[in-house]
Amino acid sequence: MSATKQRPSVVDGGIAPSNALQSDFNANDDGDSMDADERYLRALGYKQSLHRQWKFFESFAASFAALYSVGGIRTTFTIGVGAGGPAAYWSSYVITCVFVFITAAVLAEVCSALPAAGSIYFWAAESGGRRYGRLFGFIVAWWSTTAWTTFVASNCQAAANFLLSEITVFGLNFPTDPTDIRFRAVQWIVSEGFLFLAIGMNYMDPKTYKTIFRLATGIILLDFVLNMIWLPIAVSNSYGFHDAKYVFTQTYNETGAPPVWNWMLSFYVTAGILVGFEASGHISEETQNASVVAARGIWWSAVASALIGFPLVILFLFCLPDLDTLYGLGAPQPFVEIYAMTLGRGGHVFMNVVCIIGLIFNTTVAGVASSRLIWAVARDGVLPFSGWISKVSTKKEPKNAIIVMHVVASLLLCTILASPVAFSSLVSAAGVPTITAYALIAFGRFFLTPRKFQHSPWSLGKWTRPFTLIALVWNLYLAAVLFSPLYFPVTGSTFNYSPVIFGAITLCGLLTFWLTPEDQWLPAARLGKVHQLEAEYE
């Protein structure tokens, strides 16, 4: 039975659990058999249902590999450099790094106080306080689960584009035009295959995830090193580098937008590259000493992803051909042709294999984070069929949540068959819900619950208030950019459907908020317990 249809009972002024994964506040548990993590989780009203054996490296890798900034820069480079040119791209990336550090610090502090698998959803509910917490929680639950599932699907299509670009490189007699249904059919089949491979690793024993995290981090660093060393050597032996004036001062307008907004649209890409660092929070119920380790994972993964991305942005600006040549390349993923032009056929094949493997592991790790988020949201009865989705296997993994994520991502990939606009519209909307969730949490923390969780083990101290306000303004600005059309004048083929899709997702959150009775949403009581714990600490 769905958890949303089970009415909790009131016991001695508290709320008894309606889900086996939720604990009874009034139960007398044997505290001696629990460690500090389990005891605090029980105090929040949740039982320790998942295995808890990961440490800092796994927490860091969950966000670092889910971001995969190297792959993100490469996949979106042609879009980013067309908005404002090289000068706008590198400068916008630097600005983005600064504000991402601030946003990550704000979220890390909240995570330190609430190290639960629902993470961003639970944090939003807490930030809304007693009056708006339930509303914030339901909306962000839908925003975050759809964003992460869409991200998983988009990664698989990106990997397919790298593979199918070899059609152009090797001159095969097959179309690579997205408007051709034959190409889209093959692209869909390959994308579904990569999805099956990547998410298939999520069904493995949780103990093997440590190896997956290490392999994912290793392939990202290998990708970074190969680009930083091998690519410039190859470029120097082929068409040569751009000069510094071009890299640091050249402007360009591929978008057709007014000059100022054309420059602002460079944030369209830089913001999308550095988003998702809250993944460490999604796996916090499987992390030891989570109130400190998960917070550190969020912060340091954001810093590391941004820092390795900057030299790569500068390198690509020096090494890639001029913009007219770049936009004249016909492969689905231009970088494959660029690697072929510089590294040769054999070298570029090896590099392409690294790129594809990196995206597969990127998808696998993102799937780990996404499934934990879906599981935690279902545990509180927010999603349809929550009772089934929140079941845990004998191996202490959320197997049904993984299945849901896999099925939904697979269905999203089917939109590739409809038209080239359909799937790209879904992908463009993937980053918006997460960024608006960051903004909503910051809004609640600044205006509604400004004095809560000032004593988190990982604390910003006196910087909490100013950093929270900065995070709010920054993420609202990014949302405005992501809602904007990317190409002007706006037509049916260039219209940005992100606001429409975002509105539909928000409506789903509002409907479940209105249709689910307040006393059936257990965190209503649990957040009260959170505030009680805070008061006792003070």
- Taking only the tens place, the pLDDT of each residue in 23-32 is 444 444 555 5
Which one, of 113, 134, 145, 137, lies nearest residue 41 by Cα?
113
Separation of alpha carbons 114 and 281, rounded Å: 9
Strands 14-15, 10-11: pairing kind: antiparallel
Separation of alpha carbons 163 and 349, rounded Å: 10
Both tokens of residue 283? 């796996």
Write the secondary structure of 346-381 as one string of H (helix), E (strand) and C (coil). HHHHHHHHHHHHHHHHHHHHHHHHHHHHHHHHHHCC
Domain positions in the chain: 50-537
From first to last of the 538 residues of the chain, give the pLDDT tens digit. Answer: 333 333 333 333 444 444 555 544 444 455 555 678 888 788 777 888 888 889 999 999 999 999 999 999 998 898 889 899 999 999 999 999 999 999 999 999 999 988 988 889 989 998 998 889 999 999 999 999 999 999 999 999 999 999 999 999 999 999 999 999 999 999 999 999 999 999 999 998 888 889 999 999 999 999 999 999 999 999 999 999 999 999 999 999 989 999 999 999 999 888 889 999 999 999 999 999 999 999 999 999 999 999 999 999 999 999 999 888 988 998 999 999 999 999 998 999 999 999 999 999 999 999 999 999 999 999 888 888 888 999 998 888 999 999 999 999 999 999 999 887 777 777 767 788 999 999 999 999 999 998 776 668 999 999 999 999 999 999 999 999 988 888 889 887 778 888 888 999 999 999 999 998 877 675 655 555 555 555 555 5
Are residues 144 and 179 in contact, defined by beta-carbon separation less than 8 angstroms? Answer: no
How many of the other CB atoms lie within 10 Å of CB of 27? 11
Both tokens of residue 408? 């939904």
Place of tokens 């909503």: 440
Q: Check residue 14 and report its DSSP letter.
A: E
Q: Which residues pair with 11 in a beta bridge?
A: 14
pTM, entire model: 0.91
Are residues 22 and 45 in contact, defined by beta-carbon separation less than 8 angstroms? Answer: yes
Dihedral of alpha carbons 55, 60, 63, 64, sign: negative
Separation of alpha carbons 277 and 108, rounded Å: 10
Separation of alpha carbons 335 and 168, rounded Å: 12
Which one, of 257, 303, 299, 254, lies nearest residue 281 by Cα?
299
Length of the chain: 538
Place of tokens 């988003």: 275
How many of the other CB atoms lie within 10 Å of CB of 244? 10
Pick the CATH number of 50-537 from 3.40.50.2000, 3.60.110.10, 3.30.430.20, 1.20.1740.10: 1.20.1740.10
Q: Check residue 241 and report its DSSP letter.
A: P
Burial class (CB in 10 A: 0-12, 13-18, 19+), 493: exposed
169 CB-near residues (< 8 Å, 6+ apart): 331, 336, 337, 340, 345, 348
Which one, of 534, 479, 434, lies nearest residue 120 by Cα?
434
Are residues 165 and 351 in contact, defined by beta-carbon separation less than 8 angstroms? Answer: no
Q: What is the dihedral of CA 425, 148, 163, 267, to 10 degrees?
A: 60
